[in-house]
Amino acid sequence: MIQIKNLTKTYTTKHGAVTGVDNVSLEVGKGEIFGIVGYSGAGKSSLIRCINLLERPSSGSIIVDEKDLTQLNGDQLRKARLKIGMIFQHFYLISQKTVYDNIAFALRAAGTPSKEIKMRVEELLEMVGLADKRDVYPAQLSGGQKQRVGIARALANNPAVLLCDEATSALDPNTTLSILRLLKEINRKLNITIVLITHEMNVVKEICDRMAIMQGGRVIEEGQVYDIFADPQKELTKEFISSVVSFNVPVHILKEFKGTLVKVLFKGGVAGEGVISDMLQSFSVKGNFLHGAIEYIQERPLGIFIMELKGAEIEVMEALRYLENRSAIVEVISSGH
C-alpha cells in the first residue's frame, strides 16, 4: 500500500544543511496500523509529512497505491492527495465555522456536488459520535471532540490512507484512549491504512500492528509491535518500552537477595500456563517473586517475571533449562553462586 524507498529530506538552514530524514525505507501493508516512534528531532514528523508531499523529499520515492507521488504533476498530485487524509496534534479547525461546515469544507474543496455533501457530513458525524454537535462551534468543544471533528474531516473524501501526526499528544489519557479506539474501529470498518507518529509507546501498544523506531533521521528498529515489546534489540527501544512496561527492580532491593536473580519472559499462550509453578515442583529450588505481570499486546499475552531462585547450583541451572524448554526466554540478572 505504502512504499517508502531510500527517502532523504534535507533542510537548508543558516548554519548549513540539516538532514531530517536519512535514507529511510519502509513498507506499510493495506489495512495496517503502523506506528513511527521517536523523540523530538528524530525525523518522524518530517517523514510523515513527506508521505503526502506536504514536504517534498530531497531524494527517494513515496509510492502510495502503486503511484509514485514524487513523479506526479500538480493536478495528479492533488487527486492523489484526496486519498490521503491527515489529522494533526492541534486540530486546525476553522473557529468561525460550525462542526458541520468544518467537515463540509473538505468536501467542497474536493468539488463534491452540494447534494451529496449533507448526506456525507451527517454520515461522518455519526461515525465519530458527534451527531449532536452538528451546529456547534469549535470553541464549544472539548479537545477530544475537536479531534473527532478532525478525524471526520480527514475521512470526508474516502481516503485509503490516514496519517496521524501526534494526534493524541494534546489529550488527557482517557480521551487519548477513546480516540485510539475510534481509530481502531475506523481501521477495521473501512480497512483504511493508518500511519501514526508518536513519542508515546502506550499509543503504539494500544492499536498498532507494526512499528518503527527512529533516531537521528534513521529507522533503527522495525517489526511487529508484539515482537519488539517481547525482545527489543536497541537501547533506545528498551528505553521507550520501559516507559510502558517496567520490570526493573531497584538496586538496593537486589542487594538484599543472595540467590540467583532471573528475568523470565513468556510469549503467547504459554504466558498463561503454570510453567513456573511446574518448575518449582519439579526441581529442588525455592522461588521468591520480586516483580511480575502479564501484559496484553495485540490481544496476545506477554508475561514477564523477575524472581530469585535458591538451591544447589546444578538444580538452579536445570530449573532454568526447564523454563527455556517450555518456551521461556531466561536472562540471569545476577548469580548467588
User: What would the mean pLDDT of 93-109 be, rounded to a whole number?
Assistant: 94
Say what the pLDDT of residue 250 is: 67
Please check the confidence at residue 252 and state whether its pLDDT lies above 80. no
* Chain-centroid distance, C-alpha 258: 40
List C-alpha distances in Å: 279 to 230, 312, 326: 22, 15, 10
Q: Is 13 helix (H, G, I), strand (E, B) or coil?
A: strand
Is pLDDT at 155 greater than 60 in this prediction? yes
- Distance between CA 215 and CA 218 in Å, rounded? 5
CATH architecture assignment, domain 2-242: 3-Layer(aba) Sandwich (3.40)
Give residue 329's pLDDT: 86
Task: Judge contact between 287 and 307, C-beta under 8 A.
Answer: yes
Give pTM, 2 decimals. Answer: 0.88
Over the chain, what is the mean pLDDT?
Answer: 90
* CATH superfamily placement of domain 251-334: ACT domain (3.30.70.260)
pLDDT higher than 80, residue 158: yes
Angle at 44 between CA 39 and CA 50, to 5 degrees: 165
Q: What pLDDT, on a 0 to 100 scale, did the predictor assign at position 62?
A: 95
For residue 98, CA distances in Å to 101, 102, 119, 134 come to 5, 6, 16, 7
Q: Break the chain into its structural domains and give their ranges.
A: 2-242, 251-334
